[in-house]
Amino acid sequence: MRFCFGPVPSRRLGRSLGVDILPRKTCNLNCIYCELGPTKTYTCGRAEYTSVSEICREINEVIAGGADFDALTITASGEPTLHASLGEILACARALTDRPLTVLTNGTLFVDPAVRRDVAPADVVLPSLDAALARSFRRVNRPALCVDFEGIVFGLESLRKEFTGRIWLETLLVKGVNDTEEDLTALRKAYARIRPDAVHLNTVARPPAVSWARPLIGRELEEARAFLQQGLDVPIEIVVDTKRRLAEGFHPLLEREILDMLLRRPMRRDEIADLFGCGGDAVARVITGLLAQGRVREEPFEGKTYYRAAEDI
């Protein structure tokens, strides 16, 4: 499969059938916590980066093959709203499934009415907003020069007015970077303007693009959540890994599928075992083989060992 992957257990979406619609790491940001590594194609230009007909054909094939999923998620190894035919891709997916359609996005392009129109067929849009102060935005998200910082909150506000589905806004806090009281106060004001259905608070949980991006510990996250929630009627919750187990036997344990997943994001052995519904010993055998062949590498983070596909390095 070139575009579809999973279903993967998602903290927020259950079993999510992912559709990755862009060439690897095409983005208008270069976030310090990005688990995909540094941005390769740094652009704000919307274009036909991949073929809509090929994407639709593949979604159709996966669904016709009996894939069992809770949500179909349009995502990218980068920023999916950069695809000029996002609307067409969503319309195609809508025609193929009645499961919820979701879009994971960095939320920077909704100032463009065409992007807001494109996501209209989705049931849930999950944009990010990590900083509402320009200085912190530059530090945590490292935007391309073409990104209109002032337009981001305005764009999300406009999306709220026009979009009939749900908006779950995500804020990822990096210790000492975008978690000061000033940052949180500005974020709270932005939430009040945007009025999402929920705010999901997150922190660095996988090997980041830069080694110095550190997570908040549980108590710090809870304090940030309580501070952000003051006087705000939008629910704010801390999102945590569900480690949801997929149906036994949905995925055969194949080296290629594990590699495919590790190409998209670094994972721990226990997460792989959880994802594929198989025992830790079987995963250990496959990973040992892949390490010996130089096709994956180990990456320590916060006292845990993650594995990343060598093609990703």
Shortest reach from residue 57's CB to ligand SF4, in Å: 25
Phi and psi torsions of 128, nearest 5°: -100, 150
Nearer to ligand SF4, 27 or 101 (CB): 27
**Distance from C-alpha of 162 to C-alpha of 134, rounded to nearest angstrom:** 26
- Which ranges in 119-254 belong to alpha helices (H)? 134-141, 149-162, 181-194, 218-229
Q: Which stretch binds ligand SF4 (CB under 6 A): 31-39, 196-204, 245-253, 284-292?
A: 31-39
With a CB cutoff of 8 Å and minimum separation 6, the contacts of 184 are: 224, 227, 228
78 near ligand SF4, rule: CB under 6 A: yes
179 near ligand SF4, rule: CB under 6 A: no
Shortest reach from residue 31's CB to ligand SF4, in Å: 3
Nearer to ligand SF4, 34 or 290 (CB): 34
Among 106, 178, 202, 203, interactor with ligand SF4 by CB under 6 A:
106
Contact in structure between 168 and 200 (CB atoms under 8 Å): yes
Among 20, 79, 118, 257, interactor with ligand SF4 by CB under 6 A:
79
How big is the chain, counted in residues? Answer: 313
What would the DSSP string read from start to end of 178-212? S-SHHHHHHHHHHHHHH--SEEEEEE--S--SSTT
Among 22, 36, 72, 82, interactor with ligand SF4 by CB under 6 A:
36
**Distance from C-alpha of 200 to C-alpha of 57, rounded to nearest angstrom:** 33
Q: Which stretch binds ligand SF4 (CB under 6 A): 34-42, 43-51, 191-199, 275-283?
A: 34-42
Q: Which stretch binds ligand SF4 (CB under 6 A): 27-35, 157-165, 183-191, 240-248?
A: 27-35
30 near ligand SF4, rule: CB under 6 A: yes
Q: From the centroid of its chain, how far is CA 244? A: 17
Residues that bind ligand SF4 (CB under 6 A): 27, 29-31, 34, 36, 39, 78-79, 106
